[in-house]
Structure 1
Amino acid sequence: MAAEAEGLNRLTRFAQRVPDGALIYDQGEVPRRIVVVLRGHLQFEVVGEDGVVTVVGGAGAGQMAGHIAAVNARPTSAAARASEETILLSIPLGSLAEAFKDAPGLAVQLAEALEAADRIGKSHTSNDAQRRAARDAVTIPVPAGVDEQTFFVDIADCPICDSAFEYVRIRTRGVRPAHRDSDLRVSYNGVDPTWYAVVVCPQCSFASYRDDFDAVTPGEHDRLVATTADRRAISAKAMTGARSAQDAEIALELAMRSYALRQPNERRQAVLLHRRAWLARAADDTVREMEWLERARDAYQSAYERDPEVDEDSALRAAYLIGDLTLRLGDPRAAGRWFEVCTKAGASEQSGLVRMARERLHDAREAAKAQADVAKAS
């Protein structure tokens, strides 16, 4: 529901014009104001598990942004950025009562948004009230010295040991891409956000991506509880603060062990294996990189061929990665067949992945020709 334009026009004292690309607030920031778009558009951005900043939504004329986080004094789940020149109202929390008098519709809109957010929050609350009540009331803090320009602190409840703990996440402004490899690995200036994609409980070393951290079945819970000592033996160090490359590798190992005890997910396994290859590449360890790439390629292929839940976009991405990893592993003819799958997939001509597949198909054909020439010469 958008606030009535007539009421908002009475609040021009809070208006400001922002240019295209301006950051309104960052992911993880606790806003001290409510933003309402008068003209233009805001896009909401998050740092995904692959380290890429992704647009996940937006707000147009008459819509609010940052209001749930501002009222509840909680970090925002996404950054807000102007996707064109935009005029917005920036209303400090201390001026809300005054603003509501001039624009009663805004008060109604905010109340409805808060009520909807409360319903969603209650639907995500665990049904096991006794387990929640028994958990440690003291949240385990992150190590001291967090760089607040790069990170923000979030809180998680471990579904395995019931510990509540803080952990750091990357702000969108902390992501500074420098270069992208053909297998979609991005090199960064400064912190690599992929090192922080896996959340690790500091108490029991359960590790998972954020999107399914809580999605643990009773059977999975029992298996993960029974293997806590095995995970703790890998590393007793808390992985909740700043991470080194070695920490990132340990986090991936813990995630692989944790997911091995959960419902089979070939796509997730492939991604974890691929991330291990990226770490080896960053360390200039070609032998280990090839080992991880081969395992990742096989897992992507298994997911492509067997996973009934793979949608068209995921299948296109998997086919491209199978082709790229196969080419990196030295089999250009097989790689070319996978790139051809991508180019014939019926995706939009503007698809960046299809364009990359065409380029890599050319590389594969050139490599196959070179191999044939060497074979003839010998």
Structure 2
Amino acid sequence: MLDIAALARLGGVKKYGEDEVFFNFGDNGKEMYIILKGRVGVFINSFDGFPAKLSELKTGDFFGEMSLLENLPRSATISALEETVVLIINESNFEHVIAQQPNLAMRIMKGISNRLRQANEELSFLKKGTKPGEEDSSDSTGEAGAISSSAPVAVKGPIFPPGHKSYNLIAPSTHETYLFDKDTECPVCEKKFPVRMMRSSKLRLDKVDNDMRQHFEEFEPLWYAVWICPHCLYSNFNFEFKQISDALKPKIIEHGKTLQGKVNLNFSIPRKIDEVFLSYYMTLQTLQQNGKPEPGKFAKVWLRLSWLYSDVGDEEMYDFTTREAYTAFKDSFFNTRRDSSVEQDQRLNLLLGELSLRVGEKEEAMKFYRDAIVRKSGGNNVLNKQAEDCISALKASLAADQEGV
């Protein structure tokens, strides 16, 4: 058992506030952390981009050891669930800490061994970019605010598609309870700017739609999920903001110069829906600077845009963005290599089934729903049940179509 009091006396102690992020998935780092007091959450980004909590760590637990020992990028995002005090161990004090706490070395070795074993077990269930049908599958069967009665006004500009409009919708006052302000540094131009952070520990899930959209009580994360650097106009999801290649940075800076003065980046408090739309379309601008665009990243943006257009009641733009999301997700599913778990592929099949249904491809939707059912180890029974329900509803719809012929 670790002597927490003795560890605290070794120095290198730091306090993190509730919802403060230690590091994000993909970040470089050379430190590990031992929790002296408090709790942290371990998050990964699911295929739809939302952080999914894998586990919680408490007093006496540690994390980040692979970055310290192997110089590997961070494999997850770690965020404080409450005020947390940690001992930071790096190359300069590692040997001293181990000498004072020899039990720690054994715990680290056991932890690495357990993670390797779990990884080997999961590898046997990974489908690396396979298409539906290549593996056995069963044939078993927050309101954001108030919209004005005035009609939306068409908007033209360098980043908006034809048909986009201005919408008279602002965030409700309840959002402020779940937000706090913090400065961050842009990884492209290295200048600091203020961002609005979400208090993820306070969020309470209300329901999940068939397209995997999560609804939370009194708060809409979609409104704050994108950060834009006001200096170089780099835009990305907050959970991926630091993940940008060096080769792409000069392209983003040059493209940003062409947009300076053409977009208004003054975010209001409370935030306006027009500012939210701008942030997502600016993210598409950033993604387009990559010489080899990644369809999965475009898909995440288009899907969220479809949700936002649904919220403002613009059916024309909802249909347009839904089809864009459908096309991009299919491109990613069939034409890119993925290292995803069985459960993640179940979710992706369910999402593709729902999007296929929305664009009128019922037979294709049925195939995706069936591939979402996985009975072997690694499959999620809740997702299996959801897929079965979707299949039943779709069969009824297809039968009704046949009767109408």
Q: Same fold (TM over 0.5)?
A: yes
Alpha-carbon distance, 1:317 to partner: 2.5
Alpha-carbon distance, 1:45 to partner: 5.8
The correspondence for 2:396, drawn from 344, 366, 376, is 366
Counterpart in 2 of 1:316? Answer: 346
Q: Distance in 1 between matches of 2:193 and 2:324?
A: 33
Alpha-carbon distance, 1:213 to partner: 2.6
Counterpart in 2 of 1:226? Answer: 254
Tell me, what secondary structure is at the counterpart of 1:155? strand
The correspondence for 2:318, drawn from 289, 297, 314, is 289
Q: For the Cα contact (< 8 Å) 1:320–1:338, is it kept in 2?
A: yes
Q: How does 1:197-276 map to 2 (within 5 A)?
A: 197-239=225-267, 243-262=271-290, 263-276=292-305
The correspondence for 1:59, drawn from 57, 60, 65, is 57
Tell me, what secondary structure is at the counterpart of 2:324? helix
Q: How does 1:170-185 map to 2 (within 5 A)?
A: 170-185=198-213
Tell me, what secondary structure is at the counterpart of 2:331? helix
Q: Distance in 2 between matches of 1:29 and 1:220?
A: 25
Q: Distance in 1 between matches of 2:225 and 2:299?
A: 15
Deviations 1:262-311 (A, max 9, x none): 24211111110100100011112222212111111111111111111342
Q: For the Cα contact (< 8 Å) 1:43–1:55, is it kept in 2?
A: no
Deviations 1:295-336 (A, max 9, x none): 111111111111113424443322221111111223322210
Q: Distance in 2 between matches of 1:107 and 1:197?
A: 44
**What amino acid sits opposite 1:201 in the alignment?**
C
Q: Distance in 1 between matches of 2:368 and 2:334?
A: 13
**Structure 2 vs 1, CA of residues 366 and 25 (structure 1 numbering), >3 Å: closer, same or farther?**
farther
Q: Distance in 2 between matches of 1:175 and 1:234?
A: 35
**Structure 2 vs 1, CA of residues 153 and 295 (structure 1 numbering), >3 Å: closer, same or farther?**
same
**Structure 2 vs 1, CA of residues 340 and 77 (structure 1 numbering), >3 Å: closer, same or farther?**
closer
Counterpart in 2 of 1:301? Answer: 330
Alpha-carbon distance, 1:28 to partner: 2.9
Q: For the Cα contact (< 8 Å) 1:154–1:166, is it kept in 2?
A: yes
Percent identical: 17
Q: Distance in 1 between matches of 2:284 and 2:232?
A: 15
**Structure 2 vs 1, CA of residues 149 and 308 (structure 1 numbering), >3 Å: closer, same or farther?**
same
Q: Distance in 2 between matches of 1:337 and 1:152?
A: 44
Alpha-carbon distance, 1:5 to partner: 7.9
Tell me, what secondary structure is at the counterpart of 2:332? helix
Are 2:41 and 1:44 equivalent residues in the alignment?
yes
**Structure 2 vs 1, CA of residues 372 and 281 (structure 1 numbering), >3 Å: closer, same or farther?**
same
Q: For the Cα contact (< 8 Å) 1:319–1:338, is it kept in 2?
A: yes
The correspondence for 2:360, drawn from 312, 327, 330, is 330
Q: For the Cα contact (< 8 Å) 2:252–2:286, is it kept in 1?
A: yes
Q: Distance in 1 between matches of 2:382 and 2:178?
A: 29
| TM-score of the superposed pair, with normalisation by structure 1 | 0.64
**What amino acid sits opposite 2:295 in the alignment?**
E
| TM-score of the superposed pair, with normalisation by structure 2 | 0.61
Deviations 1:219-272 (A, max 9, x none): 422221221134445522234975322211111100011011124211111110
Tell me, what secondary structure is at the counterpart of 1:360? helix
Q: Distance in 1 between matches of 2:177 and 2:294?
A: 35
Counterpart in 2 of 1:102? Answer: none
**Structure 2 vs 1, CA of residues 251 and 3 (structure 1 numbering), >3 Å: closer, same or farther?**
same
Aligned residues: 293
**What amino acid sits opposite 1:309 in the alignment?**
R
**Greater Cα shift, 281-290 or 174-183:** 174-183
Alpha-carbon distance, 1:345 to partner: 7.3
Are 2:191 and 1:163 equivalent residues in the alignment?
yes
Q: For the Cα contact (< 8 Å) 2:43–2:55, is it kept in 1?
A: no
Tell me, what secondary structure is at the counterpart of 1:161? coil
Alpha-carbon distance, 1:106 to partner: 12
**Structure 2 vs 1, CA of residues 176 and 344 (structure 1 numbering), >3 Å: closer, same or farther?**
closer
Q: Distance in 2 between matches of 1:328 and 1:246?
A: 25
Structure having greater relative contact order (Cα 8 Å, sep ≥ 6): 2
- Across the aligned residues of Structure 1 and Structure 2, the Cα RMSD in angstroms comes to 4.1
Counterpart in 2 of 1:21? Answer: none
Q: For the Cα contact (< 8 Å) 2:81–2:201, is it kept in 1?
A: no
**Structure 2 vs 1, CA of residues 328 and 3 (structure 1 numbering), >3 Å: closer, same or farther?**
same
Gaps of 5+ in 2: 8-15, 23-33, 64-76, 88-96, 105-172
**What amino acid sits opposite 1:298 in the alignment?**
T
Q: For the Cα contact (< 8 Å) 1:53–1:172, is it kept in 2?
A: no
Counterpart in 2 of 1:3? Answer: 2
Tell me, what secondary structure is at the counterpart of 1:169? strand
**Structure 2 vs 1, CA of residues 169 and 36 (structure 1 numbering), >3 Å: closer, same or farther?**
same
Q: For the Cα contact (< 8 Å) 2:39–2:59, is it kept in 1?
A: no
Tell me, what secondary structure is at the counterpart of 1:190? coil
